Structure 1
C-alpha cells in the first residue's frame, strides 16, 4: 500500500468527564492508492493548536506521498528529522508526527493483516485492571457518591481523580479539605480499590504542602500521586520521593524519549505517563517503553482523548510487563463511543486483550468527525 493523500481533521466536542467542557482534537486520515484508510490522532486540546497542527500534518503529508506504509518507522525518522528546526524535542511538530504515525501503524496492520499488538510482538498478559479516570467538579458529596458507584456498581478496580478543575469541588487548594475528601473517598470505594490523584495544572504546591498532604493521604491507601509539581522541578520530585511511601507519576506533558530519559536519570518518578497522541505516536512510545523496561519503573499509557489513541494505548500497555493498569473515561463521550462502532469497554473492572482486527482495530465513523468538525 502506498500513500495517496494525508488529510487533517480537527474537532470540538463536549467532554462529560470534564464538566462538559469543550475539548479539541486533531485527527489524521491517510488514504492509500487502493482506497484503504488509516486513522491517527493528536491530543491538541486547544483550537489554535489544532489549526497549527493541521498545517504541519498537511506539509508533512506532502513529503510522504507515494511511500509504502510498511516503511512507517523510516517515515517517522524522516519526518522527525525534517522538523529539526521547528520541532526540536517536541512541540506542535510532535502532535503532527503522532497523528501521522498512528495512521501509518493502522495502515501497516491492514496491509499485513495483523493487529498493532501482534506487530508489537503480542500480549504479555491476559488482562489489566480497569480504572475510572475523571475530574472532580461537582460538590464533595456528589464526587464521593459517583466514584463509589463506579467502583461498587460498575466494577472499576479503582479511580484516578484530577484535582484543581473547574466546578465547585475545589479540590487541591486546601490541604485539610483534601485530606477529608480522601478519607471519605476511601470509605466510599472500599478497602481494596486503587486510588490515584492528579494535582492538575491549576494548583500550585510547594514541597512542604506535597509532603504534608501525601503523608496524610497514605493513611487511606493512596496508590500514586500524579505530577505534584511542574515537570522540570526535579529536585522537588527527588525530595518528595524520599519523604513519602507513595509512588510518584510523571510525564503526561512530556514530548519525547529524551525528556523521559532525563527524568529516569534523576530518579524523580516511579510511574511514567505516556500519551501516544503527543510523544510521536506508537513509534515514539516504543522508545520510551524501552527506557522504562531498562530502568525498572512503570509505564502508564494516557488515553484521555479519542478512540485511535485509546487503541494505541491498549496495544502498548499489553506489549510490556511494566504496566499496572489501564484508565477509562467512565462517562460515555463522543470521541470514544460515538466515533467508532466498536468502542473499548471494560468487563467488571477488567480489560482484556484488544481485538485482533488488523491495524488499530477501530471502525471510524467519518460522519461523526464532520458533525463535530472545528
Structure 2
C-alpha cells in the first residue's frame, strides 16, 4: 500500500478580473505518494499574511505528521491534524492548512482508486449542481451592474448572485434609495424567471437588526432567492430575530470554520441557506459532516466557492451528494485560478456545473501555471 512521500505548500498570487484585478492569494497543496501518484488541494487564505502563515504551519508541522502514513485513511489523518492543533486551535490558519491538505488527500485517493470523489463520498444524488453567476457589484456604475446581470442570464445562468461593491466606500447596503433603484432595475432587466441573490458585507456592520428588518421588507416585492450575510456572522441571536420577522430567506455561514461552529449556527434558528467552503471549513471531510447537519435540520446548502477550480471541484462533489443543495458560486468571467490553473476548467451548461466521470476531483493542474503565479 502506498504511503505519503511529500506534502508541498505552494503559494500563488493572481489578479482577480471580477474585482478590478485586485491581487488575491491562495495556498495550493500537492501531495505525492510513494507510487508517484499526486493529489491537489487549496485553501482560500486570501491575504498575504494568512498565506505565509498557512505555509509555515504546513511546512513546519502538518507535513511531518503525514509523511509515511497511508493516504487512503483520510478520516484518520483528518483527526490526527485536528489533534495536532489542539493548543493553537483548529480555526483560522490551522483550518486553512487542514482544508487544503484534506482536499488533496481526497483527490489523491480518487486517483489511486480510479473513482471520482463523489463516488468515494458514498455516491451522488445528482450529476449536476446549479451554478450561481457570482460577481461584485459596482455601486458607482449601475448601468454596468445591470448589464452584468442581463449578460449572465443570457449566457444560461439561472441564478444570479452579486454583492459588496468595487470600492470600500461604495457598497451595497449603505444607501437605501440607491439599493432599491438597483434591485428594481435588475428585475426589470432579467424578469422573475431567474433567481437573484444579493450579498451584504455583514462583517462591516452596515445594518443593525432594525435596519435589516426594514431593508428586507423593502426588498420583499423583488422576490430575492435569499439575502446573504445581512448581519455580522457571530451575532446568531440577531439572525434568529431577523428570520422571525421577515419572509425573504437568509443565507450565511461562509465565515464558519468547523462542524462545531456550524452546529451552533444551525441550532440558532437564524439561517435558511447554509454556506460552505471546503477551502476553509476543514476541507471536504469537515463540510461532509456539516452537510449531514443541514439535511437533518431541513435547511438548504450552497457552496461559497470563489477561489480556484480545485475549490469548485470539491464543492461540486460534496454538494452532489446532498439532496439539500441549491447552488454553488461560479465566476462567470475568465479568471486565472479558475480557467488557467487547470487544463479542463469548469463551465456551466444550461445553468449547471456537471460532474465528470474522472478520478479524484476531476481536474488536471497545470504546474506551469502554478509556477507562473508563484508568490514568495
Name the TM tier (shorter chain). Answer: over 0.9
Q: Secondary structure at the match of 1:215?
A: helix
In the other structure, the counterpart of 2:13 is 12
1:222-241 map, 5 Å: 222-241=224-243
Please list the CA deviations of residues 215-252 of structure 1 after superposition, one character each: whole Å capped at 9, or x if unmatched.
11110111101110111111211111111111101110
Q: 1:311 is matched with which residue?
A: 313
What whole-Å deviation, never above 9, does each CA across 1:95-122 have from its counterpart, x for those lacking one?
0000110111111111111110011122
Partner secondary structure for residue 38 of structure 1: strand
* Partners of 1:164 and 1:172 within 8 A in 2: no
Q: Within 1, Cα distance between the matches of 2:351 and 2:36?
A: 38
Q: Which residue of 1 aligns with 2:24?
A: 23
**What secondary structure sits across from 1:219 in the alignment?**
helix
Structure 1 residue 196 displacement after superposition? 0.7
Q: 1:239-278 alignment to 2 at 5 Å?
A: 239-278=241-280
Q: 1:84 aligns with which of 77, 83, 86?
A: 86
Residue in structure 2 matched with residue 70 of structure 1 by the alignment: 72
- Farther-moved stretch of structure 1 (129-138 vs 246-255): 129-138
User: Displacement, 1:2?
Assistant: 1.1
User: How far has the Cα of 1:31 moved from its partner?
Assistant: 0.9
Structure 1 residue matching 2:325: 3-state secondary structure? coil
CA deviations 1:199-230 (Å, max 9, x no partner) are 01445211122111111111011110111011
SS at match of 2:255: coil
Query: Secondary structure of 1:29's partner?
Result: strand
Structure 1 counterpart SS, 2:329:
strand
User: What's the offset of the Cα at 1:309?
Assistant: 0.9
Distance (Å, rounded) in 1 between the aligned partners of 2:21 and 2:187: 26
TM-score by length of structure 1 reads 0.96
Question: Residue 31 of structure 1 aligns to a residue in which SS?
Answer: strand
Cα distance in 2 between the residues matched to 1:121 and 1:18: 37
What is the CA distance between 1:130 and its match in structure 2?
2.1
Structure 2-normalised TM-score?
Answer: 0.96
In structure 2, the gaps of 5 or more residues are none
Aligned to 1:117: 118
> What does residue range 1-374 of structure 1 map to in structure 2 within 5 Å?
1-58=2-59, 59-88=61-90, 90-137=91-138, 139-151=141-153, 153-166=154-167, 170-200=171-201, 201-202=203-204, 204-352=206-354, 354-374=355-375
Greater shift in the superposed pair: 318-327 or 343-352: 343-352
1:264-323 superposed Cα distances (whole Å, 9 cap, x missing partner): 111010111010010111111111011111111111112100111111000011000010
CA distance in 1 between partners of 2:52 and 2:214 (Å): 42
What stretches of structure 1 of length at least 5 have no aligned partner? none
The RMSD of aligned alpha carbons is 1.3
- Aligned pair count reads 371
